[in-house]
Chain A
Amino acid sequence: MSVRIGIVLFPGYNRDIDAVNALQVAGAEAQILWHEDTDLAGVAGILIPGGFAYGDYIRAGVIARFSPVMRAVADFAARGGPVLGICNGFQVLAEAGLVPGALLRNRGLRFVCKEVALLPEHLDTPFTREIAGRRPLRMPVAHGEGCYYADDATLDALEADGAVLWRYANDDGSVAGPDDAGNPNGSLRGIAGVRNAVGNVAGLMPHPETAVEAIIGSEDGLGIVRSLVVSAGEWSTTGRIKYTRPAGAGAAAGVSA
């Protein structure tokens, strides 16, 4: 039987359509989880897609973190289950403190929708394991608040811990710094996505779920979606995920998860 992945649906979400399609392409089963749900219906993994949760009023993700379903997601993460947040989902995870860092208004203060090149930093994580090689991945970004920010100490610690999973790349394949053409929003050190200290929760701003078929421009996102599915299958059968460490190890690495 195929792996069941929960798609968290907040009022105002719109990339749930993309997420359901991506899971189908990846051969997994999608289970919609309404924002008021407190029971995760026994899903093997969680995908929080993009959109404008509760309209993103006040600040992206700030209201969503207090929703009933997010308490259940936090418990699920604490038990070691794999959780991936994309775009607004990343913002919600960051607001909830489930992944390190914060996402600020784009440099330039305008919404930006374009294709970017994404460099996977490590291929031995629950969210990159199915990516074939460290070549840049083409996929779209579409956000107004995607500028990744943390203080230097935290950034150093994240890099030392290998917690930076994806960075924006320039055309020549180099990492795109805040001012480079390949960096769509001014993210520090070109960071597009990170994981928590344990390794079972990750978020990124670009949209792998909208890049899973050649006909819609790219299938480079499929590796990330497949990685989530494989890790979820692993967790549901064995109770743990390869490439993760025991909960609490984050403190040792000096990373707040």
Chain B
Amino acid sequence: MTAPTPIQVPLHRALGLTDEELDAIRGKLSRDPNDLELAMFSVMWSEHCSYKSSRPLLKTLPTKGKDVLAGIGEQAGVVSIGDGLAVAFKIESHNHPSAVEPYQGAATGVGGILRDIFAMGARPIAVLDALRFGNPSDARTRHLVDGVVRGVGGYGNCVGVPTVGGELVFDPSYQGNPLVNVMAIGLLEDGMLTRASADGPGNLVVLYGSATGRDGIGGASVLASATFGDQDPSKRPSVQVGDPFAEKLLIEATLELISRKLVVSIQDLGAAGITCATCETADRGGTGMLVDLDAIPRREPGMAPFEVMISESQERMVAIVEPGQWEAVRDVCLRWELPVAIIGRVTTDGDIVVLTAPNGSGALDADGHPVAGAVELARIPAPALTSEAIVFNRLATPPAKRRNAPAPGAPAETPDSLPMRGQDPGAVLLALLGSPNLSSRRQVYEQYDHNVQANTVAGPGRGAAVLRIKGTTKGLVATTDGNAPVSAIDPWLGAAFSVAEAARNVSITGARPLGVTNCLNYGDPTRPEAFWALAEGVRGLSDACIALGLPVTGGNVSLYNEAPGSAIAPTPEIGIVGLFDDIAIRRGPAFTADGNTVLLVGEAGPGLAGSEYARLAGGGDVDGPPSIDLALEAKLQEFIREAIGRGLVEACQDVSGGGFAVAVAEMAMWGGRGATLRLGVGDSPAIALFGESPSRLVVEVAPRHAPACELLARHYGLPVHALGATGGDTLRIELAGEGATGAAEERGSRIADALDVPVASLRHAWEHGLPRALGWEGGDDASDARADGAALPGLEVAG
């Protein structure tokens, strides 16, 4: 990316504003903005802060829900869970900072989303991190993975919030532009709910937390809102630096301020720093603010006014405080050893006014009134920076060539190139289990504290995370899921898949999904094809949420995820929190006992494109992705919740990455016992074993409950088949039906008639896949040749 020197270009362009936007600013002010005002507009009108491209789309999302206490537009969504308790949750991206400086980028990503949670009055109880990188064998990818993982751990571990789940996905499309999406969850009593609204003219504007420095200048506008060269050193000053110790103090001080009712409202300082916090709270309160530039504690001397106003220095909060409470607020902050200062006063005129005294001695007196000779550096109507910021209706054009899902029953066009003639499909299963995207993440999540606070019932690594709520019978379930490969082919479908899978992962524990938070990672919205992908993604998100009855309670849009010469696969990252009224009903995905019946609920559909099998076989571009019936998906999830609630289920796993065979293999590995199953094959063994068509569950039930469970499934109109029984130390899947063996042979499939693999081999392949892919210690052990796919000649597992 060529960076013209600011001397040659007008200031507004150097700040990332277009000429059209400059004209709009002139319209808002009815005059030319000065340099400080221009800098404030440049960050607030950035894509990151203003959602200027996505806002028209986001308006279409379903946001209503009887339990939703705070939704889109607040710092985080808040949903009631009964008995005077509520849960706050939100997911946010920190993609570009992490590409420039992986450790600090990821660390401040965790810090930023945590502040959104405790600013609402909630104590953070969990973090999930969804990470996406390029080819794992690439040296730069390995550098990014190591830095991001250390960053997430370094911050989360110190601040004392357990990292209980997330994702780690490798795909070539992220080579130049990794994705770091972090979800945080908080628990609060209804009475603690605090909104960031600057109510009460005359109230004080109090800044507390770390001092303001030059780090993160223009992070929102320079980094988050433009395509960039991933190794551009000139961007490094735009990355913020995190101090988790300061954040921990900030959490305790903030929750004490709120619980003691010492503050009117609180907002964290993230993107666009003081400018954003002041104008957003003022706009929500329908008020204005006087901001005393001189009163803002600095980390270093000689900072220009614009640097102070847009700095993204971390671990800072703004509180609106009644004058009578100031001393109590100050004492709380000082007890937690946090700098605190009155930096302004709430006014009635709706303007954000930045003031300074000639000698920098303070522009406001003790009562918050301007002193004689105070100079006005900037005056902008708060709405012009926020709710009335510029909006673009971008052009959306579908790509010329599109692939659609094959009609149900259509013959599979994907060549069953795997397994090869006479080859045991078990070798394919082992290759999938050992592949970078399906193998165990243990070496990563063991670097995260996942049980601090003593609430973790189910931590990372085996499906959705489960947390108990102390002093109640309640429990929470949390997951993040995003299907990029399908989104790359059909962005509507990929988004619908992502919502369905996230909700399914909650439902199969027996919990009820409460709501959806989303992080939409897409490309340059000024490219019609990229904006079409975003528009289709939002439509898929909306359709799936409506079908599953889930409100969207918040989220974040990350655009311009493009490195020179490449754009990421559209990645809708979905976070869902679910609720147990009684956590005792909880079920996991591991086989629990020998001699139990294994049921398959749902049926495989055609389409292998976007599957891990297709990634392995390399033949996935021939057909389309599987389709989804959202009404059926909703029924499937109602069914499993009722079945678990009625105590009919011992264990349940859904069919997703790697297909049916991987789902069963996981249940076997995690349960330490095998199974002998007979699987009906329709048209293609590859589709039956490794296809990823949605809306399927593998359910372990006690034999005496099998009839009732099958009956319940039929009652919901779901196809259900008893496949066999658990037990033994091998996983055996015999293929039956017209699609198997002979019939398949005639159609050119060379698949063997059965899959038969020792559980120990499954575990070996699964355990060693990731460290081998990343060249980490523990990945070099390939003593079992079949375990690392070596038995598949020429088989390359693409990143």
A: residues with CB less than 8 A from B are 11-15, 17-18, 21-22, 50-52, 54-57, 108, 110-114, 140, 142, 144, 207, 209-210, 212-213, 215-217
Query: Interface residues of B toward A: which range?
Result: 20 to 34
Listed stretches B357-365, B451-459, B653-661; interface member: B451-459
22 examples of A-B residue contacts, CB within 8 angstroms: A11-B248, A11-B337, A12-B248, A14-B160, A17-B454, A18-B454, A51-B160, A52-B157, A55-B243, A55-B245, A57-B245, A111-B447, A111-B449, A113-B445, A113-B446, A114-B446, A140-B451, A209-B454, A215-B468, A216-B455, A216-B457, A216-B468
Residue in B closest to A21 when the chains form the complex, CB atoms: B454
**Could you tell me if B446 and A12 are in contact, using CB atoms closer than 8 angstroms?**
no
- Whose C-beta in chain A lies nearest to the C-beta of B163? A113
**When the two chains form their complex, are residues A113 and B468 in contact, meaning their CB atoms are under 8 A apart?**
no
Q: Cα distance A111–B443 when bound, in Å?
A: 11
In the bound complex, do residue B159 and residue A14 qualify as a contact, i.e. CB atoms below 8 Å apart?
Answer: yes
CB of B378 closer than 8 Å to a CB of A: no
Residues B337 and A216 in contact, CB atoms below 8 Å apart? no
A14-B160, A111-B153, A142-B157 given; A54·B245 CB < 8 A: yes
**B-chain residues with CB within 8 Å of residue A140 when the two chains form the complex:** 451
- Report B230-254 residues with CB < 8 Å from chain A CB: 243-246, 248-249
B450 interface residue, CB < 8 Å from A? yes
Give a binary string over B131-155; 1 marks a CB under 8 Å from any A CB, 0 the rest: 0000000000000000000100110
CA distance A108 to B446 in the complex (A): 12
Closest to A207 in B: B451
Interface check B470, CB cutoff 8 A: yes
- Let me know if B453 and A18 touch, CB within 8 A: yes
Contacts of A15 in B (CB 8 A): 160, 452
Contacts of A215 in B (CB 8 A): 457, 468, 583
Q: Are A216 and B456 in contact (CB under 8 A)?
A: yes
- CA A207 to CA B154, docked complex, whole Å: 19
Query: Are B470 and A21 closer than 8 Å at their CB atoms?
Result: yes
Choice from A12, A55, A111, A210 contacting B451 with Cβ under 8 Å: A210
- Chain A nearest CB from B592 CB (Å) reads 16
Contacting residues of chain B (743-774) with chain A, CB-CB under 8 angstroms:
none
Which of A11, A17, A108, A113 is the most central at the interface, judged by chain B CB atoms within 10 Å of its CB?
A113
Instruction: Check A112 against B454 for contact (C-beta < 8 Å).
Output: no
A142 to B445, CA, bound (A): 11
B336 proximal to A (CB < 8 A): yes
Inter-chain contact A55/B455, CB cutoff 8 Å = no
Q: Are A11 and B447 interface neighbours, CB within 8 A?
A: no
Q: How far is the CA of A11 from the CA of B246 in the complex (A)?
A: 9
The verdict on A112 contacting B446 (CB below 8 Å), with A142-B451, A216-B457 known, is yes
| Cβ-neighbour of B158 out of A52, A114, A212, A216 (below 8 A) | A52
B690 CB within 8 Å of chain A = no
Smallest CB gap from A52: residue in B: B158
A56 to B248, CA, bound (A): 13
Compute how far the CA of A187 lies from the CA of B274 in the bound complex, rounded to whole angstroms.
47
Assess whether B448 is interfacial by the CB under 8 Å rule. yes
Rounded to whole angstroms, the CA-CA distance of A144 and B158 in the bound complex is 11
A-B contact count (CB 8 A): 90
Query: How far, in whole Å, are A33 and B559 apart by their CA atoms in the complex?
Result: 48
Contact B451 A11 (CB under 8 A): no
- When chains A and B are docked, how far (Å) is the Cα of A142 from the Cα of B233? 35
Contact B456 A12 (CB under 8 A): no
Smallest CB–CB gap between A165 and chain B, Å? 22
Contacts A52-B245, A215-B457 given; indicate if A14 touches B447 (C-beta within 8 A): no
Which A residues are in CB contact (< 8 Å) with B449?
Answer: 111, 113, 142
Q: Which residues of B contact A14 (CB under 8 A)?
A: 158-160, 248, 452-453
State how many angstroms separate the Cβ of B751 from the closest Cβ of chain A.
38
A55 vs B160: C-alpha distance in the bound complex, in angstroms?
11
With contacts A113-B447, A140-B451 taken as known, whether A11 is within 8 angstroms of B249 at the C-beta atoms is: yes
Bound Cα distance from A128 to B453, whole angstroms: 24
Separation in Å of the B781 CB from the closest CB of chain A? Answer: 13
The chain B residue sitting closest to A17, CB to CB, is B453
Q: Give A134 Cβ to nearest chain B Cβ, in Å.
A: 25
Chain A residue nearest in CB terms to B442? A114
Q: How far is the CB of B459 from chain A (nearest CB, A)?
A: 8
What are the 6 tightest A-B residue pairs by CB atom distance, in nearest-first order?
A14-B160, A55-B245, A18-B454, A142-B449, A52-B158, A113-B449
| A18 partner, pick from B245, B450, B452, beta carbons under 8 A | B452
Contact B158 A113 (CB under 8 A): no
Of B243, B245, B445, the contact of A11 (CB 8 Å cutoff) = B245
Contacts of A144 in B (CB 8 A): 157
Q: Name the B residues within 8 Å of A55 (CB-CB).
A: 158, 243-246
**Residue on B with the closest CB to A114?**
B446
B71 to chain A, nearest CB (A): 29
Residues of B within 8 A of A110 (CB): 150, 447
Task: Assess whether A112 is in contact with B243, with CB atoms less than 8 Å apart.
Answer: no
Report A-chain residues with C-beta under 8 Å of the C-beta of B150.
110
Which residues of A are found within 8 Å of B446, using beta-carbon distances?
A: 112-114
Give Cα distance in the complex from A142 to B447, angstroms: 9
User: Within the complex, what minimum Cβ distance (angstroms) separates A144 from chain B?
Assistant: 8
Determine the distance from Cα of A62 to Cα of B583 in the docked complex, in whole angstroms. Answer: 41
Most buried by A among B150, B248, B452: B452
Whole-angstrom distance between the Cβ of B312 and the nearest chain A Cβ = 21
Compute how far the CA of A54 lies from the CA of B336 in the bound complex, rounded to whole angstroms.
11
State which of B153, B158, B777 has its C-beta within 8 Å of the C-beta of A12.
B158
B454 in contact with A210 (CB, 8 Å): yes
A209 to B445, CA, bound (A): 21
- For the complex, give the distance between the alpha carbons of A113 and B153 in Å: 10
B456 touches A56 (CB 8 A): no
User: B154 to chain A: which residues have CB within 8 Å?
Assistant: 111
* Residues of B456-503 whose CB lies within 8 A of A: 456-457, 468, 470
**Contact yes or no, B248 A216, CB < 8 A:** no
Closest to A110 in B: B447
Q: How far is the CA of A214 from the CA of B770 in the complex (A)?
A: 31
A-chain residues with CB within 8 Å of residue B468 when the two chains form the complex = 215-216
Contacts of A57 in B (CB 8 A): 245
Distance (whole angstroms) from the CB of B127 to the closest CB of chain A: 13
State in angstroms the CA–CA spacing of A111 and B454 once bound together.
19
With a cutoff of 8 Å between Cβ atoms, the chain A residues found around residue B447 in the complex are: 110-113
Q: In the assembly, what is the distance between CA of A51 and CA of B160, in Å?
A: 7
In the assembled complex, how far is the CB of residue B425 from the closest CB belonging to chain A, in whole angstroms? Answer: 32
Nearest A residue to B157 via CB reads: A111
Question: With a CB–CB cut-off of 8 A, which chain B residues contact A114?
Answer: 446
CB-CB nearest in chain A for B470: A21
Q: In the complex, A17→B450 CA distance in Å? A: 14
List of B residues within 8 angstroms of A108 by Cβ: 777
Q: Whole-angstrom distance between the alpha carbons of A13 and B246 in the complex?
A: 12
Determine whether the beta carbon of B454 is less than 8 Å from that of A12.
no
Q: Which of A51, A55, A111 lies at the interface centre, i.e. has the most chain B CB atoms within 10 A of its CB?
A: A111
Interchain CB contact under 8 A, B244 and A217 = no
CB distance from A158 to the nearest CB of B (A): 29
Bound-complex Cα distance A216 to B451 (A): 8
Give the complex CA separation of A22 and B159 in angstroms.
20
- A24 to B97 alpha-carbon distance, docked (Å): 43
Known: A11-B249, A57-B245, A111-B449. A216 touches B157 (CB 8 A): no
**How many angstroms from the CA of A207 to the CA of B157 in the assembled complex?**
14
Residues of B within 8 A of A17 (CB): 160, 452-454
Q: From A14, which residue of chain B is reached at the shortest CB distance?
A: B160
CB distance from B468 to the nearest CB of A (A): 6
Please report which residues of chain B, range 54-96, place their CB below 8 angstroms from some CB of chain A when the two chains form the complex: none
Docked pose: A210 CA to B248 CA in angstroms: 20
* A217 near B248: Cβ-Cβ < 8 Å: no
Rounded to whole angstroms, the CA-CA distance of A111 and B452 in the bound complex is 14
On chain A, the residues within 8 Å of B246 by CB distance are: 55
Chain A residues with Cβ under 8 A from B249's Cβ? 11-12
Bound-state Cα–Cα, A15 to B451, Å: 10
